[in-house]
Amino acid sequence: MKVALIAHRYYGDKDSTIKHTTQMIQKAAKDGAQLVVLQELHQGAYFCQDESVGKFDLANDYEKDKIYWSNVAKDNKVVLVTSLFEKRAEGLYHNTSVVFDSDGKEAGKYRKMHIPDDPNFYEKFYFTPGDLGFRPIDTSLGRLGVLVCWDQWYPEAARLMALSGAKILIYPTAIGWFDGDDEATKSAQLEAWVAVQRGHAVANNLPVIAVNRVGFESDECGGGIRFWGNSFVFDAQGVELFRSNSTDEIVQIVDIDMKKCEEVRRWWPFLRDRRVESYGDITKRFID
């Protein structure tokens, strides 16, 4: 499978950013991409750095946005993984990844399940936790296990996608550093982020794709987030196929050997040897 990772900075407004993203998708398609993965909330700024009721208006065009990206997928004949701000009803909003097949039809969607609430990542103010579960999305390229950002840290999410037949794990992402942190702290954060997702690849014998934003985006208090890029692909055995740097935008095509998943699972039969009768406590918040 030829997968395109597209990561970019915010271009000052929604229209300019979408135009730039569309041009990057067109380039990826011309270069042979079959699957295109975009970053988290790719249509504009990462707006969760503060809590503002006015920013809920960003979700008002959710249905129009879906039509736009559906046409982009169809025009470029690619399976497209988007990340949109969904207004489901009055007062009910989700961080939603909508997947469009190469004919433009909506293949399915995933609503972000794990919602963070940290300085400059005030997502609980905006997003209701997803209610669709950890269910893969069927496309013409196979069954995609789409998760979003904070979901990256949870092995349960990756495992449940694998158990539901996902052929690949995909994480649109928005994560970065605060400039005030020292270099050792920044390095530790980044490498932990990479390591946990590489672990998902190994433990589930599945390729993993993460596409992260780049560039600095200021908040309203004189600070902000410097998104650390480092988008990557690991294969089903945890071998690094690609990793970007921390600053550059990318339109990167990576060839993934999808047949390797079955081969690796025959060598390392982790799913066969699970002791499912002994895992009941995993559903508890804490074991006394």
Q: What is the pLDDT along the chain (288 residues), one digit of tens a residue?
A: 999 999 999 999 999 999 999 999 999 999 999 999 999 999 999 999 999 999 999 999 999 999 999 999 999 999 999 999 999 999 999 999 999 999 999 999 999 999 999 999 999 999 999 999 999 999 999 999 999 999 999 999 999 999 999 999 999 999 999 999 999 999 999 999 999 999 999 999 999 999 999 999 999 878 999 999 999 999 999 999 999 999 999 999 999 999 999 999 999 999 999 999 999 999 999 998
Structure confidence at residue 220 (pLDDT): 80
Integer Cα distance of 111 and 158 in angstroms:
15
Whether the Cβ atoms of residue 62 and residue 43 lie closer than 8 Å to each other: no
Is position 124 within any domain?
A: yes
| One-letter-per-residue 3-state SS of the chain | CEEEEEECCCCCCHHHHHHHHHHHHHHHHHCCCCEEECCCCCCCCCHHHCCCHHHHHHHCCHHHHHHHHHHHHHHHCCEEECCEEEEEECCEEEEEEEEECCCCCEEEEEECCCCCCECCECHHHHCCCCCCCCCCEEECCEEEEECCHHHHHCHHHHHHHHHCCCCEEEEEECCEECCCCCHHHHHHHHHHHHHHHHHHHHHHCCCEEEEECEEEEECCCCCEEEEECCCEEECCCCCEEEECCCCCCEEEEEECCCCHHHHHHHHCCCCCCCCHHHCHHHHCCCCC
Q: Is 205 left (phi over 0), alpha (psi -120 to 50) or beta?
A: left
Reference 225, options 177, 174, 180; nearest CA is 177
Integer Cα distance of 11 and 68 in angstroms:
18
Is position 195 within any domain?
A: yes
Is position 288 within any domain?
A: no
Active site residues: 40, 112, 149
Structure confidence at residue 222 (pLDDT): 80
Q: Which domain holds residue 72?
A: 2-283
Is position 256 within any domain?
A: yes
Exposed/middle/buried for residue 101 (C-beta within 10 Å: 0-12, 13-18, 19+): buried
Residues sharing a CB contact under 8 Å with residue 54, sequence separation 6 or more, in sequence order: none
| CATH number assigned to the domain comprising residue 101 | 3.60.110.10
The amino acid at residue 151 is D
Q: In total, how many domains does the chain have?
A: 1
Is position 227 within any domain?
A: yes
